[in-house]
Structure 1
Amino acid sequence: MQTNTKYDVVVIGGGLGGILTAVLLSKEGMNVCVVEQDKQIGGCLQTFSVQKKVFDSCVHYIGGLGDGHTLNRIFTYAGIMDKLELKAYDTNAFDKVAFGMGANEYPLAQGFGNFQEQLLEYFPHETMALREYINRIKTVGDHFPLYRLRMGDADEKAAVSNWGLTDTLNEITDNPLLQSVLTGNNLLYAGVKNKTPFYLHALVTESYIHSSHKVLPGSSQISKYLWQELQNSGGTVLRNTAVTKVVEADGNITHIETEHGEQITGTQFISNVHPQVLLGMLDSKIIRPAYRKRIDGLQQTTSTYMLNLVLTPGTVPMRHHNLYWNATTDVWAAAEYAPQQWPVNYALFFTEDKDNPGYAESLSILSYMHYSEVSKWDDSYNRTGHEAERGDAYETIKAQKAEQLLNKVYERVPELKGNITAQKAATPLTYRDYTGTPKGALYGILKDVNKPAETTIATRTKIPNLLQTGQNVNLHGVLGVSITALATTAELVGLQYLLDKVKP
């Protein structure tokens, strides 16, 4: 079966990168079609509900949405910024970091001056170190031109891209506790000691210092309004439609094939799926075996276990910050945990009860979880529209993890005990099935400062009419993916032209 329409642009995958790129191109008069495997678009922006309480699947808070900030400008140009309902985090702490049974919860604050001021209360002798840390973060941001919505060249990024995170922190301060506090929320980028580049930490951290918000009632509002904008521009979204084949002939992609037997033709194609997934669908001699081997061999970021809780009204005080807990001050050890030690880290994300101000209605808990713990169910597949049971043994593991995680969280949030009315858990398999990311990797391919060329994925491919976008290109996160959408769009319309529109 073949569709009658030939599109100007066909986007494979309706995650944020795909849908935002589609909106930007449709604003230029292009006829764009987004093909998404899930019932719900948005990828990591998807939400779900338990007892009518909305939960975010991945994106619990967002940096850079404040007035004049980069993401705000991108979303304003896309036509959705004024539609979003935002809840600002506590100015004096968007995140707090805790260790073991220690009573201190170290604040990471909004505003560069305030960030330094809040930490000086705990580290009064580290004024110079904190000042240098902030300077380094700003320097990195200034060397990534698109993060400042300006033109630039690769040499700028190269000047700071070889800074390792652990090495840079050692240069800034010899206080190991301060180093641990500054990286205590590294679940935001799945950091790995001696591999994670400083720029990854810096760009993520800078965005939250600029401004930190939660989208109400959930992050799927972003993809919902982007979808509306795409429709207003004449674009098309095909949901519940998995792409099975990307067909190349005579050096260009001619069409894609779907699980329903459809052929969708286009002039330009953009992949918003993991590069490894794309290569699995693409049969082309233009893509060399060495490149396929390189992509298949890349280390992925770790995955996670998530436990979502509905709370008894009026029992658990609301926190207008997130809490990141690590079993020890060796924050890098969390990703390399031994199963019998689990959990060795967690993050808590609270949502306020609008009917009981000052109290939380729900709580999401995330902790690293290795895919190997659920790999025996690798052949199973379970998502909306393709439901399948994984059996009692799998449910037992989920329940055991929930009990272990809650017992650890009770130590710091004792009021939680006895006040949970419903709960729902997700494992790396859940992330894999809903986001299409191999092994449920939180942020796709692991960035390695020692292998910058190998772990950097370009927007362009060897096939002239096939581009890439999404979290594996440049940077992950809502800001990172949105900036990559600009870069991908610019390949077709010109960067200076696009920046002049986004940044008036």
Structure 2
Amino acid sequence: MAKATTPEALKPSTIRIGTRYRANRLKGPYDAIVIGSGIGGLTAAACLSKAGKKVLVLEQHYTAGGYTHSYARNGYEWDVGVHYIGDMGTSTTLARRLFDYITDSKLKWAPMDENYDRFFLGNKVINLRAGKEGLRHSLLASFPNDGEAIDRYVALLDKVTTGMQWYTLSKLSPALVRPLITRGLKKVLPDCFNRTTYEVLRELTDNEELIAAITGQWGDCGVTPKQSSFMIHSIIAKHYLHGGFYPVGGASEIAKTIIPAIQASGGEVFTYADVTDILVEKGKAVGVRMADGEEIRSPKVISSAGVINTFERLLPKEASEKAGYPQGRKHIRPSMGHIGLYIGLKGTPEELGLPRTNFWIYPGSDHDANVNAFLKDPRNAPLPVVYLSFPAAKDPDYQNRWPGTSTIEVVAPTTWEMFEGWQGTTWGKRGDEYETLKAEITDKLLEAVYDKLPHLRGKIDYIETSTPLSTAWFCRYEQGELYGLDHTPERFEQSWLRPKTNIPGLYLTGQDILTCGVVGAMIGGLITTLSIQGLKGAGLAKRIFVG
């Protein structure tokens, strides 16, 4: 078996973004406090700062960025969540305009290959190419008799993504008019908007293999076609319609280029800053309590820590109950956890033949059946998907930082139940049984890599494996969930998943109030800002949404 190094047992990353927290470094008062430095929290902080507000961001990890951070080890560098981003090829898209706004256009983007995603459905290979015609021809090349269904599908993407603008803006509606807005949404949104992805696609075609190809990016939201909302499927497909892009300089450049905007108005981003409680007095959120006992006051508290963490771990129980959270909790569930494999190799991507194309490897064309089989027997069943990303090949600046080396990242879903027996154990001291389990999984993932890239066998110089326990520790998602809340139709029917909570002074941001992914969470940060600013945010809304 390959030795799966435990990242928790090694020295922390050399890539540290943000300022280490000390109580004597606080320079309040602050207009707002943001809990968590994921892209949603950083976006809200940057937007508020540009409106003249002094914002404090508190991150419990040793580096800022949440799932957008990078880490370096043994002469290699990997990202942990930014494997690729769409809509960055032109400054006219909403996502690019917002990125340019919060980074003052300092964040640069490199395109991936035109064939940015490659799906392996058993023995069948589909090469997804950039552009609307690229998508159409990619599918037609493999399914030449299904042109009508493919055209109808592409047309549906436009309808759903247009409707998404109305859904997003509905998150800003005041409580008094919310029922009216909900009724209005039902009239303007297409019928397919929040049905399951499989249900919608099955009405277009009975070709199950075509459906599998169309839904080959289901790993980008972590929910299979029979469980996911067609809304999230459409957003992902449309987001990557013109190809994939990668931040020049690596994922850590995202936080690095946003933080100066927060500091420009006197704010700061502190790391090692562990928030234990949201302070609630007379029914209002008034600040936070730190692990060292320090209390920091502010009229606005914005949680980017996830809905479940916010209401179940940071707020007093009585405040959560009064806000109606127990009823809402029945309709949401955490998303799946994941295994991460981080590989380092000697040699440049060109020397090693590494592409700027993502690989999605499936055992067959029934995604839901693959997952169900895995859930029944996760130790022995085939992995339902193995995703390969090649960050050193995607980043044109990588060789300047780490010359003569390359990296590969492998991601696969797993269950929390496989690892919960070690919950609460100490870094690097989880015992032989845990290490044996990790080694088994590592070998299985490596064989998936070698199957598609056999020339790499024997060339790996360094490897380490992360489990949901790593995610639980570094990102404080208790079950190691990668995408926050599951993106099911039921989740998107929850009107309470919005920036403004029923607790005055407390706001939510990030992927749980809108959708997962870097851009989904980033727009969540924008929506939180607009919710706080009210009419004062009209100029910002026009600039980002209209251009």
Q: Tell whether the structures are fold-level matches, with TM greater than 0.5.
A: yes
Aligned to 1:282: 315
Distance 2:505 2:168 in 1: 28
User: Is 1:436 aligned to 2:468, yes or no?
Assistant: no
User: Is 1:173 aligned to 2:205, yes or no?
Assistant: yes
- Letter of the 1:11 partner, please give it: V
Tell me the C-alpha RMSD between the 2 structures: 2.5
- Letter of the 2:361 partner, please give it: W
Classify the secondary structure of the residue corresponding to 1:458.
Answer: coil
Q: Tell me which of 522, 530, 539 is aligned to 1:497.
A: 539
User: Is 1:261 aligned to 2:293, yes or no?
Assistant: yes
Aligned to 1:385: none
- How far the C-alpha of 1:362 sits from its partner, in A, is 1.4
User: Is 1:77 aligned to 2:101, yes or no?
Assistant: yes
Aligned to 2:489: 449
- How far the C-alpha of 1:352 sits from its partner, in A, is 3.9
Distance 1:381 1:469 in 2: 30
8 Å contact kept, 1:77–1:501: no
* Change over 3 Å in CA distance of 1:240–1:224 after alignment to 2: same
User: Is 1:361 aligned to 2:406, yes or no?
Assistant: yes
Moved more, 286-295 or 69-78: 286-295
- How far the C-alpha of 1:149 sits from its partner, in A, is 9.1
8 Å contact kept, 1:95–1:107: yes
Classify the secondary structure of the residue corresponding to 1:209.
Answer: coil
Aligned to 1:307: 341
Aligned to 2:423: 378
8 Å contact kept, 2:363–2:382: no
- How far the C-alpha of 1:4 sits from its partner, in A, is 6.6
Query: Aligned ranges for residues 207-286 of structure 1 at < 5 Å?
Result: 207-279=239-311, 280-283=313-316, 285-286=318-319
Distance 1:441 1:187 in 2: 13
What CA deviation, in whole Å up to 9, does each residue of 1:427-476 have, x standing for no partner? 11111111111211110111221464349622111112101001111101
Distance 1:215 1:147 in 2: 29
8 Å contact kept, 2:344–2:405: no
8 Å contact kept, 2:221–2:487: no
Q: Tell me which of 193, 196, 203 is aligned to 2:228.
A: 196
Aligned to 2:150: 130
User: Is 1:470 aligned to 2:510, yes or no?
Assistant: yes
Q: Tell me which of 126, 136, 145 is aligned to 1:106.
A: 126
Aligned to 1:413: 453
Classify the secondary structure of the residue corresponding to 2:133.
Answer: helix
- How far the C-alpha of 1:227 sits from its partner, in A, is 1.0
Q: Tell me which of 428, 441, 463 is aligned to 1:401.
A: 441
- Letter of the 2:118 partner, please give it: K
Identity %: 26
Q: Tell me which of 24, 27, 33 is aligned to 2:50.
A: 27
Distance 1:379 1:134 in 2: 47
Distance 2:327 2:496 in 1: 15
User: Taking structure 1 as the reference length, what is the TM-score of the superposition?
Assistant: 0.91
Structure 2 gap ranges (5+): 1-22, 174-180
- How far the C-alpha of 1:185 sits from its partner, in A, is 2.1
- How far the C-alpha of 1:286 sits from its partner, in A, is 4.2
* Change over 3 Å in CA distance of 1:164–1:41 after alignment to 2: same
* Change over 3 Å in CA distance of 1:252–1:148 after alignment to 2: closer
Aligned to 2:110: 87
- How far the C-alpha of 1:57 sits from its partner, in A, is 0.7
User: Is 1:333 aligned to 2:369, yes or no?
Assistant: yes
Structure 1 gap ranges (5+): 383-387
Aligned residues: 493
Distance 1:276 1:217 in 2: 33
Classify the secondary structure of the residue corresponding to 1:136.
Answer: helix
Distance 1:32 1:98 in 2: 46
Distance 2:483 2:341 in 1: 19
8 Å contact kept, 1:446–1:455: no
- Letter of the 1:298 partner, please give it: I
Distance 2:370 2:478 in 1: 21
Moved more, 389-398 or 240-249: 389-398
Moved more, 367-376 or 205-214: 205-214
Distance 1:35 1:400 in 2: 37
What CA deviation, in whole Å up to 9, does each residue of 1:340-362 have, x standing for no partner? 11423201101346669xx9811
Aligned to 2:388: 348
Q: Tell me which of 347, 352, 357 is aligned to 1:316.
A: 352
- Letter of the 1:159 partner, please give it: L
* Change over 3 Å in CA distance of 1:481–1:132 after alignment to 2: same
8 Å contact kept, 1:94–1:320: yes
User: Is 1:144 aligned to 2:135, yes or no?
Assistant: no
User: Taking structure 2 as the reference length, what is the TM-score of the superposition?
Assistant: 0.85
Distance 2:274 2:369 in 1: 37
Aligned to 2:20: none
- How far the C-alpha of 1:489 sits from its partner, in A, is 0.3
- How far the C-alpha of 1:24 sits from its partner, in A, is 0.1
Moved more, 444-453 or 147-156: 147-156
Classify the secondary structure of the residue corresponding to 1:49.
Answer: strand
What CA deviation, in whole Å up to 9, does each residue of 1:245-299 have, x standing for no partner? 1111112112210011111100111110111211222116343275236427732
8 Å contact kept, 1:287–1:462: no
8 Å contact kept, 2:70–2:79: yes
* Change over 3 Å in CA distance of 1:195–1:4 after alignment to 2: same
What CA deviation, in whole Å up to 9, does each residue of 1:145-199 have, x standing for no partner? 2799999965347724332201111012211111001112211111234321100
- Letter of the 1:478 partner, please give it: V
What CA deviation, in whole Å up to 9, does each residue of 1:216-239 have, x standing for no partner? 332121111111221123211121
Distance 1:284 1:394 in 2: 34
8 Å contact kept, 1:312–1:361: yes
8 Å contact kept, 2:340–2:411: yes
8 Å contact kept, 2:345–2:406: yes
User: Is 1:16 aligned to 2:36, yes or no?
Assistant: no
What CA deviation, in whole Å up to 9, does each residue of 1:113-169 have, x standing for no partner? 221022211111221111111111111110122799999965347724332201111
Q: Tell me which of 329, 332, 337 is aligned to 1:295.
A: 329
Q: Tell me which of 186, 189, 193 is aligned to 1:159.
A: 189
